[in-house]
Structure 1
Amino acid sequence: MPTMTDIADSFALDPVLDLKAATPLAQGLLARRGAELRIDGALVERLGGQCLQVLLSARSTWEADGHAFVMERMSDQMVAALELFGVGPAAFQFQKDIAA
């Protein structure tokens, strides 16, 4: 049976996720809509509110579509920014059983 790692698209977040990055982030995520998605936040140095909204909206969209959306890695800076916003890392996790 295939696993999430075997079939999911991977998407690396840019180091700076500020107001300027919100539109390209949304476009990059929308281009991957309709497939399982693994997000890599290991390089994130700054996370602004607009990009946080984009990521949370994407996670909700993937759940509504019935596709997995998983944040695999988060930098310490990203985790700290999420804590300032009052959002836990678990807010980005949605997995479903993947059929063979």
Structure 2
Amino acid sequence: MTDAIELPSVLDLVAAPGLLENFLQRRGHDLILDAGQVQRVGGQCLQVLLAAHAAWAADGHNLLLQNPSEPFIDMLALMGLSPDELTHHVSAKNGETEQ
């Protein structure tokens, strides 16, 4: 089963608790993050996203990012990251992970 989360347009301190709750509710399942509406990213939500990446990798589940907006990509770059660093893909053939 693959769940999906549409990320809000503003990922800031106010959005961080809700984002964390969304991840906690979906832990143990493959997850798709739709970042198409994101206009701003703050450090708190970036921490939540990085923690989710680590949790999904540890659990051996897919965490995929789709449709990242230009502002989302630009803000990640300012923080020294790329969208690929927020994803985790498990190969169906042999269970190996790709990051």
TM-score w.r.t. the length of structure 1 is 0.88
- Correspondence for 2:68: 74
Aligned partner letter, 1:45: Q
Rounded to whole Å, the distance in 2 between the matches of 1:13 and 1:98 is 26
Q: Aligned residues, how many?
A: 93
Secondary structure of 2:58 counterpart? helix
User: Alpha-carbon deviation of 1:87?
Assistant: 0.6
Q: Report the Cα distance in structure 2 between the residues aligned to 1:11 and 1:47, rounded to whole angstroms.
A: 16
2:73 maps to a residue whose letter is V
Alignment of 1:12 onto 2:3: no
Q: What SS does the corresponding residue of 1:20 show, helix, strand or coil?
A: coil
Task: Using CA pairs under 8 Å that are at least 6 residues apart, name the structure with larger relative contact order, 1 or 2.
Answer: 1
The whole-number CA distance in structure 2 between the counterparts of 1:86 and 1:26 is 22
- Out of 36-45 and 87-96, give the one that drifted further: 87-96
Q: Give CA-to-partner distance per residue, 1:14-60, whole Å, 9 cap, x none.
A: 00111111111100111000000010000001100110010010011
Secondary structure (helix, strand or coil) at the match of 2:14 reads helix
Percent identical pairs in the alignment equals 40
Structure 2 residue 57 is the aligned partner of structure 1 residue 27: no
Aligned to 1:92: 86
Match of 1:36 in 2: 30
1:55 is aligned with what amino acid? L
Aligned-pair distance for 1:97?
2.5
Gaps (5+ residues) in structure 2? 94-99
Name the structure 2 match of 1:61: 55
Partners of 1:68 and 1:98 in 2: CA distance: 10
SS of 1:39's partner is: strand
